[in-house]
Chain A
Amino acid sequence: MFEARLVQGALWKKLLDSIKDLLNEAIFDCSSTGITLQAMDSSHVSLVSISMNSDGFDTYRCDRNLSMGIHLPSLSKIMKCAGNDDIITMKATDDADTVSLVFESPNNEKVSDYEMKLIDLDTEHLGIPDTEYSSVVKMPSGEFQRICRDLSQLGDSVVIACTKEGVKFSASGELGTGNIKLCQSASTDKEEEAVVVDMTEAVCLTFALRYLNFFAKATPLSAQVQLSMSKDVPLVVEYKISELGFLRFYLAPKIEDNEGDN
C-alpha cells in the first residue's frame, strides 16, 4: 500500500509542469523514506533527479518499495484537473498497474478521483558521484529564466564564467554577441533575491541553451535556483521543492569537435 497526501497540491502541478516537456516517461520510485525519480531526456544530454522526503508530506505511507512507470504528459494532464488549492493524494496498491489521484477542494465540498494506467519501463539508474563543485551560484530563479530566454535569441549555447566577483553569461551567434554579468549582491533584505557566488576556483563552461530553457520551466517551484559547476563535469541546476526536497537537472557540457582515434 502506498499513499502520499500533500496539502500543498500545487507543488505536484508545478513539479509535473517542470519536467513534462523534457521527459516523456519516468519511474517514480517510492519507498518508506520518500519518492525519488531519476531519468535522462531522450537525447541523453541531461538528467533529471527528484527527491521528495516522506517527512514533507502531510501523511505518507509506503509498505513495500514500489516503482511506478509513468507517462508524464498524461500525469500532467490529470494534474491540470486539480485546483491550485486542492489537497492531492496519490495512492497505489502494492502490485497495481494503475495509480490513483484524489483531489480534495479546501472546504471538502468537492472530491475528484482519477485513475491512471502505469507503464512498464526498463529501469536504468545512473550513479551520480559526489562532487565538490568549484563554483556554486545562488540566484533568483526568475532572473535565471530571463537570462536563458534572452540569450537564446542570440545563440544556441551559453558560456557561463564564474569568478569571485560574480557570474557572467555570454552567447554569440550570427546577429552578434550578448553578455549578462551578475555581481554578488552586497546587501539584500530577502535571501532569495540575492546573487551569491561561493567558489574555490574560477570556472568557464559552455552549455546548450535549449536544455537550460527546459530547466527554467521549474521556476514557479522556487524563488531561488542554485547552479553548481566544476570543470569537465555536468552542470547542476537545483530547485528546492518547498520543505519536500529538491528537483535537480544535470546537463552535460558542450564539447568542441576533435576527431578521436582508436
Chain B
Amino acid sequence: MVRNKAVKSGVKAVSVKSESKSKEEDTTADSSSNSIHKFTKEEILFLRISLLSWYDKNKRDLPWRKISSEDINQRAYATWVSEIMLQQTQVATVINYYNTWMKKWPTLEALAEANIETINEAWSGLGYYSRGRRLLEGAQKVVSEFQGQMPKSAQDLEKKLPGVGRYTAGAIASIAFGEVTGLVDGNVVRVWSRLRAIGANSTLPEVTDLFWQLSHQTVDTERPGDFNQAMMELGATVCTPKLPQCSKCPVQALCRAYAKAESDKQSSVRKICSEVKKETNGKPEIVDIECLVPNCKFCLPEESPWNKELGVLNFPRKPKKASVKQEELNVVVIQTCEGKSPSQFLICQRPEKGLLAGMWEFPSCCQQDSKALISQAICVSCKVENGNLKGLQEIGEVSHMFSHIHHLYKVWTLQMADDLSCKVESFEGRPVKWVTESELLEAAISTGMRKVFREFKKSLTFPQSSKRKRESDVIVKDPKKTQASISDFFKKK
C-alpha cells in the first residue's frame, strides 16, 4: 500500500519535486513568493517535514485511519463514508456512527442495496440528513453506472458523485488514491490564516482561492493523504478556534500570527517597566512583519485591525452570522392509554423535502397558546373527532439549534384511548405509525426529537429521582463566549 511505504521511509520522503507537479505553483512561488501571505520554497520544505513528523508522533487513533485493505475501491469507500460523516461534525461523535455503518454496510455494493429508511435510522442523531441520502445515491451510482469502480481522481469524484464537493473529492483522492492534491476545510482555513496572517473574510472567493492555492502548493508529493490529514489534525487538536496550544505547534516558527502576538507581549511588558526601558534606550528589538502590498486584499481589514487582546485568535476572520431564525413549536407526545402495555407513541414522517426530510417526529403544531386550541389542532390534523382528547399537559421546554434555524419545542403529553388511536391514519396527510419506546429509539428520529422524548421521560421519573443534582448549576452558554470554563482546563478524573 502506497501510504505505508511512505511512512516507513519517513521524513526523507518529503520531496522537492513539487515544482513540476503542483498545479498552481508557477503562478505563485516565483512572482510573489515574497508576499507575507505565501510560502517560500524553503518554508514549504520545512512545513512538510515538521508537519509530517509531528503527525507521525501525534496522530489520533481513528477507525478510518486503520483501513488496511489492498482493494483501492474499499479504501476509497471507507474514506468517503468517514469524510462525509466528518463534515460539520466532531470526530468524537463520528467514531461510533462510522463503526456501526461499516459493520452494517461493509462495502459499496452492500450500501447500494440499502434503502433510505435504514440509512436515515443509521444516520439518526448525526444531523444534516441529506448527507446519508447522498451517500446512498452515490453508492448506487458507482455500482450501476461505473461497474463498482470509484472515479479515480479528485476532479472525477467531484463531478460524478452526488454530495462530494471540492473538499471531499480532495480528501478521497489524496487519502485513498495518493493523488497529489491539497484540500481546504474549516481546520485548514484556520491554520493557513494564522500561519500566513490572512485576515480578510475567509469566505470571500478570492480568499478561498488563496487557501486552495496554498494547500495545493504545499501538499507533500510523497504522502499527500497524510499531509492533508496532518493539516486538519493540527487545526483540530493544536491550532483550535479557542485556546490554541501554540507551545505544542510544530510549525510555530512559520506562524505570522504567533510572531505578532509575541512581539505585542514583549512590548507590553516593556511598557509596564517603562523606567527600565528608558535606561536601555534601544529601538524595539522585534520588527513587525508587515504586508507591503498597498490595499492588500488578504490582510486584516482596515476597519477592524489587529486586536492585541485576541492575539493569535485575530485569525481567521469570518463575516458576522445573520441572526438565526427562531421558531416555536408545540410538540405533543401522544401515548396510548396506560392500560395497554407496553405503551406506544405516535410518530409521523416529515415531508420528502426540506429540513430533516423523511425523518420521523412527534406530531406538532405551531403558535397555539391554549390547551383547547392545541387539542383542536391535533384533532384536525389527525382527522379524529374533537373533544375526545383528554389529559393534555405541558411538561417542559426543549430547544434545538440547527445551523440556520433555532427551534423551541414546548413539550406536551397526551393519552389517547384505544378506540381513537386505531383511527389515526395520518397526520397533516403524512404517514404515521405507533411505536414502542424501544422502536422509537431505533427509529430515524432527529436529535431534537430525542431531546423531547428525554424531557418526556424525565417528567415521568422526576418525583422519584433520588440523587440530587445541583439545581443551581445553570451554565449559560453565551453565544459570544467571553469566559472560559474550568472544565476547559481540568478534566474529570
A254 touches B482 (CB 8 A): yes
B370 at the interface (CB under 8 A from A): no
Complex interface bits, B292-319 against A, C-beta within 8 A gives 1, otherwise 0? 0000000000000001011001000010
Chain-A contact segment, one of B8-16, B163-171, B412-420, B469-477: B469-477
Interchain Cβ contacts under 8 Å between A and B, 5 examples: A127-B491, A252-B489, A253-B484, A257-B482, A262-B236
Other A-B pairs beyond A120-B467, A122-B470, A255-B481, 19, CB < 8 Å: A25-B470, A42-B470, A43-B475, A45-B483, A121-B467, A121-B470, A125-B493, A126-B490, A161-B269, A164-B273, A181-B272, A233-B489, A234-B490, A252-B486, A254-B483, A255-B482, A256-B313, A260-B241, A262-B88
B483 touches A24 (CB 8 A): no
Given contacts A45-B486, A233-B489, is CB(A259)–CB(B318) below 8 Å?
Answer: yes
Q: Which of A43, A121, A128, A261 is in CB contact (< 8 Å) with B241?
A: A261
Q: Which single residue of chain B is at the shortest CB-CB distance from A262?
A: B186
Residues of A within 8 A of B (CB): 24-25, 40, 42-47, 119-122, 124-129, 161, 163-166, 168, 181, 202, 204, 206, 208, 232-234, 250, 252-262
B276 at the interface (CB under 8 A from A): yes
Interface set, chain B 44-102, CB cutoff 8 A to A:
88-90
B353 at the interface (CB under 8 A from A): no
Interface set, chain B 444-477, CB cutoff 8 A to A:
466-470, 472-476
Closest 6 pairs between A and B when the two form their complex, measured CB to CB: A260-B241, A126-B490, A252-B484, A261-B186, A42-B472, A258-B313
B470 touches A126 (CB 8 A): no
Residues of B within 8 A of A (CB): 88-90, 185-187, 190, 236, 240-243, 245, 265, 268-269, 272-273, 275-276, 307, 309-310, 313, 318, 321, 466-470, 472-476, 480-493
Contacts of B482 in A (CB 8 A): 254-257
Write the nearest CB–CB distance from B281 to chain A, whole angstroms: 17
Write the nearest CB–CB distance from B186 to chain A, whole angstroms: 4
Contacts of B313 in A (CB 8 A): 255-256, 258
Write the nearest CB–CB distance from B112 to chain A, whole angstroms: 29
Given contacts A163-B269, A208-B483, is CB(A256)–CB(B309) below 8 Å?
Answer: yes
Given contacts A256-B310, A256-B313, A262-B187, is CB(A44)–CB(B481) below 8 Å?
Answer: no
B269 touches A126 (CB 8 A): no
Contacts of B475 in A (CB 8 A): 42-44
Given contacts A168-B272, A255-B482, A256-B310, is CB(A204)–CB(B490) below 8 Å?
Answer: no
Q: Which of A127, A252, A257, A262 is in CB contact (< 8 Å) with B488?
A: A252
Complex: A124 Cα to B467 Cα, angstroms: 13
Q: Which single residue of chain A is at the shortest CB-CB distance from B318?
A: A259
Contacts of B484 in A (CB 8 A): 45, 234, 252-255
Interface of B is mostly: loop
B473 touches A165 (CB 8 A): no
Given contacts A120-B467, A120-B468, A163-B272, is CB(A255)–CB(B483) below 8 Å?
Answer: yes
Complex: A161 Cα to B309 Cα, angstroms: 13
Complex: A128 Cα to B491 Cα, angstroms: 8
A44 touches B487 (CB 8 A): yes
B468 touches A44 (CB 8 A): no
A255 touches B486 (CB 8 A): no
Complex: A47 Cα to B491 Cα, angstroms: 12
Contacts of A202 in B (CB 8 A): 265, 269
Q: Which of B187, B307, B321, B473 is in CB contact (< 8 Å) with A42?
A: B473
Contacts of A256 in B (CB 8 A): 307, 309-310, 313, 482
Contacts of A125 in B (CB 8 A): 492-493
Write the nearest CB–CB distance from A210 to chain B, whole angstroms: 10
Contacts of A42 in B (CB 8 A): 470, 472-475
B276 touches A234 (CB 8 A): no
Q: Which single residue of chain B is at the shortest CB-CB distance from A128?
A: B490
Contacts of B309 in A (CB 8 A): 206, 256
Complex: A233 Cα to B247 Cα, angstroms: 13
Q: Which single residue of chain A is at the shortest CB-CB distance from B90?
A: A262
A257 touches B480 (CB 8 A): yes
Complex: A165 Cα to B279 Cα, angstroms: 14
Write the nearest CB–CB distance from B167 to chain A, whole angstroms: 12
Q: Which of A40, A129, A164 is in CB contact (< 8 Å) with B486?
A: A40
Complex: A120 Cα to B490 Cα, angstroms: 24
Q: Which single residue of chain B is at the shortest CB-CB distance from A164?
A: B273
Contacts of B470 in A (CB 8 A): 24-25, 42, 121-122
Contacts of A168 in B (CB 8 A): 272
A24 touches B472 (CB 8 A): yes
Contacts of A232 in B (CB 8 A): 243, 245
Complex: A233 Cα to B490 Cα, angstroms: 10
Contacts of A43 in B (CB 8 A): 474-476
Complex: A129 Cα to B493 Cα, angstroms: 11
Write the nearest CB–CB distance from A234 to chain B, whole angstroms: 5
Complex: A208 Cα to B481 Cα, angstroms: 13
A161 touches B272 (CB 8 A): yes
Q: Which single residue of chain B is at the shortest CB-CB distance from A156?
A: B482
A257 touches B489 (CB 8 A): no
Q: Which single residue of chain A is at the shortest CB-CB distance from B269?
A: A202
A204 touches B472 (CB 8 A): no
Contacts of B186 in A (CB 8 A): 261-262
Complex: A43 Cα to B470 Cα, angstroms: 11
Complex: A121 Cα to B472 Cα, angstroms: 13
